[in-house]
Homo-oligomer: A and B are copies of this chain.
């Protein structure tokens, strides 16, 4: 069998470039990390700081400060959880949603460009494969989750 890791490594590196390129979409210029944060806040429903930090595998003190700068940029807002006032729920501002949507648009444009080099069958196979892969990674929890800290 060929070198599977090689295939994965190259693919994820390229996808990383894609993500990086998309950070300057829609007139906004944010960092790759900030783009990931916006994405994850958008994806979850009113997540807490801890939840997002966990999802992204970031140290919580670092993440606390990343959130602060996104708030300063008026892309994210923090709302105290009425049920537990220790918790702050994160959500995107209107501007934050706009930026996230611009990035998403750019990403999907790029992905369509990539898929334009395949026929419909290949495209379908690839998408199903990624789904399979995600399911398999979810099943083998110990290796594909956030790196152990402490």
Contact = CB atoms under 8 A, between A and B. Distances in A.
State the copy count for this chain: 2
A79 interface: no
B57 A11 contact: no
B18 A134 contact: no
Interface in A78-121: 104, 107-108, 110-111, 113-118
A122 interface: yes
Given A16-B12, A126-B133, A129-B125, A144 B5 contact: no
Contact of A107 (B5, B140, B147): B5
Contacts of A133: 11, 114, 126
B7 A145 contact: no
16 contacts: A5-B107, A5-B111, A7-B130, A9-B39, A11-B12, A14-B134, A14-B145, A15-B144, A20-B57, A21-B143, A113-B140, A114-B133, A115-B136, A117-B140, A126-B133, A129-B130
Measured as residues with beta carbon below 8 angstroms from the partner, the interface class of chain A is: 35 or more
Contact of A7 (B10, B39, B114, B134): B134
